[in-house]
């Protein structure tokens, strides 16, 4: 059955391309004659009734912008049955009959609970720089984040070479090493440490020392935050090798920036697909 009104929400950690996806959801739905509402500040806004009707102009000048114009926040209240009931009531009083959720595993799980408890149809889009949503080959924002990291590695290599240093680059990824692996390969790192694979710092330190003794000028080691603290790993390697070792924790810079072409196009395609799906009655799927 065709919907009369739908809503779109961005939840959890922001990722470049969320704006492009939300823009596509809004404009596709409006083209199909369906009203669209935007939920501000994630599930927190859904609970606190921070919801506004959107127009085509509401999403202009967005495709090139990082972050999310809707805002995002985590909500402990939404994770309770009472909170989800309140969120549902705030949607239904606007005659909203379907919800598009853009976010990571936690956000999509929250949407699934809302759907099971209230019957609200939902369609999810994977939005996280970690690229760690189960069953997905791609998540919105991962390509931009990877490019941001590689750009940082390129700059760090210059100074590492000048001073014959070891540079430890800590990147995001609490449970997944995808960002570290892909950026490390593209950035030419000597070692890539990820939470999925065991590693021996004693052996790594021995190999590094041998390389420097044979004339190597610098080394780049990319560490996913879930594999261990970059600062602690740098301290251990520095002590064992007696080579000047510095640590760069990239932090939230990885989440920002204008989306790459890949993220803009894929996010737009996913947004269109999600809007058409939820309007036509599809529910409980992630694209």
Positions annotated as catalytic residues are 130
- Give CA–CA dist 3/278, Å, rounded: 8
- Give CA–CA dist 239/153, Å, rounded: 23
Report how far apart the first and last C-alpha atoms of the chain are (Å, whole number): 20
Q: Is the dihedral of CA 29, 73, 78, 264 positive or negative?
A: positive
Shortest CA distance to 14 belongs to which of 126, 127, 116?
127
Vertex 10: Cα angle to 140 and 152 (nearest 5): 45
**Are 233 and 223 in contact, with CB atoms under 8 Å apart?**
yes
- Give CA–CA dist 1/100, Å, rounded: 16
Residue 246: how many CB atoms within 10 A of its CB?
15
How far CA 248 is from CA of 95, 142, 152, 153, 218, in Å, comes to 49, 20, 9, 10, 15
């Amino acid at each position: 059955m065709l919907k009369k009104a739908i809503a779109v929400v961005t939840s959890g950690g922001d990722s470049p391309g969320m704006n492009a996806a939300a823009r596509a959801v809004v404009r596709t739905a409006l083209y199909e004659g369906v009203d669209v509402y935007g939920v501000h500040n994630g599930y927190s806004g859904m609970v606190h009734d921070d919801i506004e009707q959107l127009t085509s102009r509401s999403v202009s000048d967005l495709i090139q912008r990082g972050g999310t114009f809707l805002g995002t926040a985590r909500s402990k209240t939404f994770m309770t049955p009472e909170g989800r009931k309140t969120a549902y009531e705030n949607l239904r009083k606007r005659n909203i009959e379907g919800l598009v959720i853009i976010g990571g595993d936690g956000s999509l799980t929250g949407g699934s609970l809302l759907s099971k408890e209230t019957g609200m149809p939902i369609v999810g889009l994977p939005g996280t720089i970690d690229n760690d949503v189960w069953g997905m080959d791609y998540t919105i924002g991962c390509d931009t984040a990877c490019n941001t990291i590689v750009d940082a590695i390129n700059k760090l290599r210059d100074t590492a070479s000048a001073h014959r240093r070891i540079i430890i680059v800590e990147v995001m990824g609490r449970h997944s090493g995808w960002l570290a692996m892909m950026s490390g390969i593209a950035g030419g790192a000597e070692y890539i440490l990820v939470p999925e694979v065991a590693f021996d710092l004693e052996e790594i330190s021995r190999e590094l020392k041998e390389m420097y003794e044979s004339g190597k000028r610098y080394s780049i080691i990319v560490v996913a935050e879930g594999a261990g603290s970059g600062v602690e790993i740098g301290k251990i390697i520095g002590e064992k090798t007696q080579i000047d070792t510095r640590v760069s924790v990239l932090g939230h810079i990885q989440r920002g920036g204008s989306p790459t072409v890949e993220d803009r196009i894929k996010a737009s395609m996913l947004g269109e697909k999600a809007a058409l799906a939820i309007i036509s009655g599809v529910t409980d799927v992630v694209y």
